Amino acid sequence: MNEHFDTPDIGAADPALLRRLAEALPAAALLTGAAIDPRYQFDRRGRFSATPRFLLRPGTTGELSIALRLCEEHGQPLVVHGGRTGLSGAHRIATGEAVLSTERLTALGAVDAAAGTLEAGAGVALQAVQEAAEAADLMFGVDIGARGSATIGGNVATNAGGIRVLRYGMFRAQVAGLEAVLADGTVLSSMRGLEKDNSGYDLRQLFIGSEGTLGVVSRVLLRLHPRPEAEANALVAVPSVEAAVALHDRLRRLLPSTLSAFELLLDGAFEGALAHMGTPRPLSTRAPVYVLCEVQAPDAAGEARLAEVLMEALEEGLALDAVVSQSRREFLALWALREACPEFVRAHDGILGCDVSVPRGRMAAFLTAARAALLPIDPATLFFVFGHIGDGNLHYVIRTADRAAAAEAIYRQVAAHGGSISAEHGIGVDKKPWLALSRSTAEIAAMRRLKAAFDPRAILNRGRIFD
């Protein structure tokens, strides 16, 4: 049984529906029984959910439209699966649901260099888009650790963020056009890629970040960016979170067009990631806070400017120590340290990971208050906090004996400091109990009205975001 859902067991799949699906779709698009790989039943963290009634794998928008229409007519609830790397539990199967996977929607178009766009099917992996852009001497603006498995459709549905949001924006900013299919099979296609189109509502925006509750994204026209000629990063030891925020503000002021990432690692996450990787310390100085920043510049002068600005920060005591990458190998090694943070925390039991955001100016106060609230719950709490400080986004990860009480304490502190209980991973199922801390009653009511308008029988991702 799936402990996360109240959905009653509504019996086996309707044979009439299965018959109609089998008649209308190619064999590869419908799997039942033992033909369904068990992997769909487990989430990213290895938690079992439920056995799907059947598995739909449409290979075209037309097949997707037919599959949705028939399921809607028979009232068959569906959970949409992309790469299943989501961290909010949304793709865990509820009892009675069938899985709709985008794994066969993998058409990847050619890069349109003149327009700076690339068309991708919903099931294309993010990394494939990045590589296609690079092959055309362009770049894609979003990068996340799960790039090899996460799909473009999943990225749209979660409005994925990642490490370069401060330069390129969230996934929403990468979408030049979008096609989505509603629960009743209606295809809404807006793939012209027009910069300006104020002819009524911009319906595309509704699907971005809607976590599969309003429709299934089938194709996306993605914006590409000029590839930087020079890239460099630096690891900086700083005396406090306040100093990290001040350093961020200074870099943004002095390197406005080249600063592309500014990541924060508190000492617990930094030391843990180092130990996990088994690599030597890149900096001899020990500090409570570390920053990993990156510039992407049109020429080598941009790299040199980063070193100059950091040197000034060192002289003024804003930074305690710094190392600037001098080669591609060093550049990648510093990023590997940052990417080791989630791997390191996943290797522990009793971990609670909260993806939250707070206004940058209140980040230090939030961290102090959250710690003060958590230690009485479990004095042995271990803190492994890291995040994208440029966007006020913290991955507030702790090891605690009481995860439920700790989560409540963290989200209440987030709300008290004007933040959001979900910065980039969405609400899914896991964060539903706290949605009202970030959204007003009126906002949630408006979301429900949208859901009812787009999916009146609630067949798509039922019980995700809200009940």
Ligand X SMILES: Cc1cc2nc3c(=O)[nH]c(=O)nc-3n(C[C@H](O)[C@H](O)[C@H](O)COP(=O)(O)OP(=O)(O)OC[C@H]3O[C@@H](n4cnc5c(N)ncnc54)[C@H](O)[C@@H]3O)c2cc1C
Q: Which is nearer to ligand X, 84 or 431 (CB)?
A: 84
Least distance between ligand X and beta carbon 171 (Å): 7
| Token pair of 153 as six digits | 């459709």
Q: Which is nearer to ligand X, 83 or 268 (CB)?
A: 83
User: Which DSSP category does 228 fall into?
Assistant: P
By beta carbon distance, the residue nearest ligand X is 154
Amino acid at 92: R
Q: Which is nearer to ligand X, 268 or 426 (CB)?
A: 426
Least distance between ligand X and beta carbon 232 (Å): 21
| Token pair of 152 as six digits | 């473009």
Q: Which is nearer to ligand X, 399 or 464 (CB)?
A: 464
| Token pair of 12 as six digits | 């086996």
Count of other CB atoms within 10 angstroms of residue 220: 30
Whole-angstrom distance, CA of residue 174 vs CA of residue 222: 6
Least distance between ligand X and beta carbon 265 (Å): 14
Least distance between ligand X and beta carbon 215 (Å): 7
Q: Which is nearer to ligand X, 381 or 393 (CB)?
A: 393
In the beta sheet, which residues pair with residue 383?
398
Whole-angstrom distance, CA of residue 357 vs CA of residue 424: 9
Q: Which is nearer to ligand X, 144 or 394 (CB)?
A: 144
| Token pair of 371 as six digits | 């710690």
Interacting residues toward ligand X by CB under 6 A: 44, 79-87, 90-91, 102, 122, 144-146, 150-151, 153-155, 157-158, 160-162, 211-212, 216-217, 342, 424-425, 461, 464
Whole-angstrom distance, CA of residue 57 vs CA of residue 440: 37
234 neighbors 306 (Cβ within 8 angstroms): yes
Least distance between ligand X and beta carbon 325 (Å): 21
| Token pair of 45 as six digits | 């963290």
SS3 297: strand
Q: Which is nearer to ligand X, 82 or 282 (CB)?
A: 82
28 neighbors 67 (Cβ within 8 angstroms): no
User: Which DSSP category does 97 fall into?
Assistant: P
Whole-angstrom distance, CA of residue 317 vs CA of residue 46: 45
Least distance between ligand X and beta carbon 210 (Å): 7
Angle between helical axes of 241-254 and 363-374 (0-180°, round to 10): 160
Least distance between ligand X and beta carbon 88 (Å): 7
Whole-angstrom distance, CA of residue 396 vs CA of residue 387: 8
Least distance between ligand X and beta carbon 47 (Å): 13
| Token pair of 105 as six digits | 């929607």
Q: Which is nearer to ligand X, 86 or 177 (CB)?
A: 86
Whole-angstrom distance, CA of residue 62 vs CA of residue 76: 19
Least distance between ligand X and beta carbon 43 (Å): 8
Whole-angstrom distance, CA of residue 121 vs CA of residue 220: 6
Nearest CA-CA partner of 413 in 430, 399, 394:
394
Least distance between ligand X and beta carbon 132 (Å): 17
Whole-angstrom distance, CA of residue 327 vs CA of residue 310: 18
Q: Which is nearer to ligand X, 31 or 125 (CB)?
A: 125
Least distance between ligand X and beta carbon 177 (Å): 15
Least distance between ligand X and beta carbon 453 (Å): 17
Residues 6 or more apart from 333 whose CB is under 8 A from it?
Answer: 279, 282, 325
Residues 6 or more apart from 128 whose CB is under 8 A from it?
Answer: 108, 120
Strands (E) located in 148-215: 175-181, 187-190
Q: Which is nearer to ligand X, 302 or 426 (CB)?
A: 426
Whole-angstrom distance, CA of residue 188 vs CA of residue 277: 46
Whole-angstrom distance, CA of residue 256 vs CA of residue 90: 37
Q: Which is nearer to ligand X, 236 or 261 (CB)?
A: 261
Q: Which is nearer to ligand X, 103 or 402 (CB)?
A: 103
